[in-house]
Chain A
């Protein structure tokens, strides 16, 4: 028995394509407590979204969970029957997707689609359903909800549709909201509105959020805890301050150096090389071909996790090397 709300242990998800097995998520473990905001950052193809889909059990072929466990409230989700899962999905764990334009059905009105979610997960009937829809639309800041509920998705702007998506996800006041790049498709001023809304609702409802994004600005703004993913593995985790001010993995350091500074115009220091080919992951550390500090051992063996504080840990040989250097074992 654990007292974490969500516990992911050694999760492995692979896609079996003709060219071979793509290990999209490879041995990922983390926990999420009540009221926490966890950020998952990484480049495209690092396995952030697949992690989310694996938690929700909404992977489609050829994707498959090949190992590990996902425990929500001490219930195992991996291998649970569809009928049982349906009681958790949407009711206890909700997800909002990146592109609100393609996530809604274009031939039903927005109100109709929210009604459906309410009917599916609550005991409300008849007029009450409609009332709840209007109530929830008001809550997410949609003006004139009576009229808007009768409109179709194409009549909404991107920011408004994302509000509708959030409304739908919040119908049952879930314990966990997974937001998969919720603001990537939106403009900055609209992004600020949506972030403000999510922050407000999170405080009011006390839910936990898993925020998946590639935008380091967004995680700096929202998250208590951050984990950095690379090639399907979590390479570093820590509090927002630990990650931004005292990163311990060479990839995290490189990532932070490649964003333009707000203060000066110093030349950017990019990470060299190309994004990883998941079909062809190097034997040792997956980041080694792009790492400037790459050592012999990095090519041969995956680095062990090194714990720096109660919250921060990283898997990078450099840390081990530095320690040995400090103690005089190597030069």
Chain B
């Protein structure tokens, strides 16, 4: 806990809400609560991993922070300053960038790699001569492990891993402090995935970057993150230091999520006790009352339907949003479907 107190906060998100209006009848709309009251802090130089199943709102969180959507409500502070006015947003966008999931659709097929990488520079007018632009492209390409001779080629001439490197080079073009990585390795093969993860780690060490690393692969997130946040139906249910969350999960959802991960080790898998959740994630249009997880939670009781749990500190820098985390930990409440 004291460790983070000393650290400087780079990004602070408070009560962030992102609702999308969905037409549910003639002239009738219902808000889809993609991100519902999410608060967290990211410290300078760290990596916060954001995990959750598809549809839980992790990508929307990243995109809303990046100002790709107009947020419904909430407060985003970067380096202690609000991101509200036009100037502030413009400034924020130079200091922040994003790496996308699909290296195939996130690069314009009609632009050369050099132009793709330099586009953020063009948009923000960050160079004074063509020579400077060219130098910057070369520097960025060598930074991510691409040969600068390839700057005149097109994206289709590269493999998936190389394309993702192009995406990273583009994200680094404005010398950002903070990068939002939205599932940057999930489209890649294992051997290439490891290359890209190492690139991210090296860049962080050399350039002092801060990451919000969004992914559904828990082993990858565990590897790269200092802290992990777990989302379920638009809310953060647990957040804390990686080792704490991974080794001592407190929220029943985190527990079952971790127990569902297949570990590449036959002996571990044989001994592993699994909590198999029943059913699917409920639709966010029709989220359960109270705790959103209660419909699948093996510990749920009537109280869970009435009260919305809020994140509370459970010690050692870990916050959990569950009414009964203590009872579950002490063994007062037991699950009914352990296999």
Contacts and interface: CB of A to CB of B under 8 A. Distances in A.
A interacts with B:
yes
Given A192-B274, A270-B194, A43 B262 contact: no
Nearest to A226: B266
Given A189-B256, A193-B276, A217 B262 contact: yes
A187 interface: yes
Interface in A128-161: 157, 159-160
Interface in B179-209: 189-195, 197-198, 201
Given A187-B53, A255-B191, A275-B159, A268 B223 contact: yes
A44 B160 CA distance: 11
A244 B191 contact: no
A204 interface: no
A322 B192 CA distance: 28
Contacts of A290: 191
Main secondary structure of the interface of A (DSSP, over half): helix
B265 A262 contact: yes
B190 A255 contact: yes
A218 B260 CA distance: 11
Interface string A265-283: 1011111101100000000
A217 B261 contact: yes
Contact of B280 (A44, A159, A192, A195): A159
A267 B198 contact: yes
A187 B265 contact: no
B27 interface: no
A220 B194 contact: no
B264 A258 contact: no
A259 B268 CA distance: 15
Nearest to A266: B223
Nearest to B280: A157
Contacts of A189: 53, 256-257, 260, 276-277
Nearest to A241: B266
B219 A274 contact: no
Interface in A205-263: 214-221, 240-241, 244-245, 254-262
Contact of B195 (A190, A195, A217, A270): A270
How many interface residues does chain B have, given as a range? 35 or more
Interface in B211-227: 216, 218-220, 222-223
Contact of A270 (B191, B259, B280): B191
A109 interface: no
Interface string B125-138: 00000000000000
Contact of B219 (A190, A214, A262): A262
B269 A260 contact: no
B219 A259 contact: yes
Interface centre among B222, B266, B339 (most CB of A within 10 A): B266
A268 B198 contact: yes
B23 interface: no
Nearest to A243: B266
B261 A188 contact: yes
B194 A187 contact: no
Given A192-B274, A267-B198, A221 B161 contact: no
A275 B192 contact: yes
B263 interface: yes
B49 to A, nearest CB: 12
Contact of B266 (A43, A220, A275): A220
Interface string B249-287: 000000011011111111111000010111011000000
Contacts of A215: 262
Contacts of B269: 217, 220-221
B64 interface: no
Given A159-B280, A190-B280, A259-B219, A220 B191 contact: no
Interface centre among B160, B192, B265, B277 (most CB of A within 10 A): B265
Given A219-B264, A220-B266, A260-B222, 14 more contacts: A43-B189, A43-B190, A188-B257, A191-B260, A196-B274, A218-B262, A220-B268, A255-B190, A262-B268, A268-B194, A270-B197, A274-B161, A274-B162, A274-B192
6 contacts: A157-B280, A188-B261, A189-B277, A195-B262, A214-B189, A267-B198
A-B pairs with lowest CB-CB distance, top 9: A217-B262, A270-B194, A258-B194, A260-B223, A271-B191, A192-B260, A216-B264, A187-B53, A270-B195
Interface of B: 53-54, 159-162, 189-195, 197-198, 201, 216, 218-220, 222-223, 256-257, 259-269, 274, 276-278, 280-281, 339
